[in-house]
Amino acid sequence: MKKILITILMVFFFIIPVGAIDKASTDIEYYKANVSSLRYDEIIDILLQDFWGFYYDVAQRYDTELKREMYTESAEYAKRIEILKALRSLVRSTRFAIEIEGELSDYDLETNAFYLRFGDNYVIIPFIGIGKAPYSYNKFYLRHLPLNVVRDTETAELYGVPENDEYYLYYNRLRIDIAKRDALDIEEKKSLYKVIVEVDVIGTKELAVTFFASGKWYGVKSDVILTDNANMIVKNTETGDIVYNQSFSIPK
């Protein structure tokens, strides 16, 4: 299960993607105490102020235009709108620290760097390739990090995707520059080292992605979480030592 570590005023919380928050509560203090239980799609709903998306259970009860219009005149709706606005401020003032899962490559002597493959830009199901937003991890858009999009030739050949296909298969590859003096221990004990990226959340962005079905590619849209002021670290989970610490921001 993928984890996201959240920091608020130097206090760390874990976000679990399948977490459950009690949206019946209209007490903002409850949400502050349980912000770690928000799912990624809920964070996007909050940033977009998508009332019916965030309060899905309410949307299920008020499932016609008339029911929803009458509900918007209620005191409960007014309170929930107030909560949703407060949650947007809470999310925007929260420092997220994302643990990037995956195994580091062997050390590259030509570039003096490790590489980490993460965030395939597709999901392969037999005869179906579902597109995912590039430069993102669990819907957090990390375009300002030192990463690039790499052609996944091996998987493409396995599923018969032509090399000249307009929508070839790609994945994200993160570059981590490490001095040689620190590289050997990392290479020998890769399982002990974790890559963590701390970011500020600044909004959302709609990106074009594709999916493949029945021999054709189709274009769709996907919302991602815009981030800035990233700080990437490589940490030894056994000793707590940080061997890499670098900041990255969106170019002005």
Domain boundaries, the chain: 4-93, 102-187+199-248
State how far the Cα of 227 lies from the Cα of 139, in Å rounded to an integer.
Answer: 10
In angstroms, what is the C-alpha Rg of the chain? 21
pTM summary value: 0.80
Whether 98 contacts 5, CB under 8 Å: yes
Output the tens digit of pLDDT for each of the chain's 252 residues.
334 443 333 333 333 334 467 787 777 888 888 776 788 899 999 999 999 999 999 999 999 999 999 999 999 999 999 999 999 999 998 888 889 988 899 999 999 999 999 877 776 665 555 667 788 888 899 988 998 888 888 888 887 777 776 667 788 899 999 999 889 999 999 999 999 999 999 999 998 776 666 666 677 788 999 999 999 999 999 999 999 999 998 766
Angle (nearest 5°) at CA 198 between 193 and 203:
145
Which class for 234: exposed (0-12), middle (13-18), buried (19 or more C-beta within 10 A)?
buried
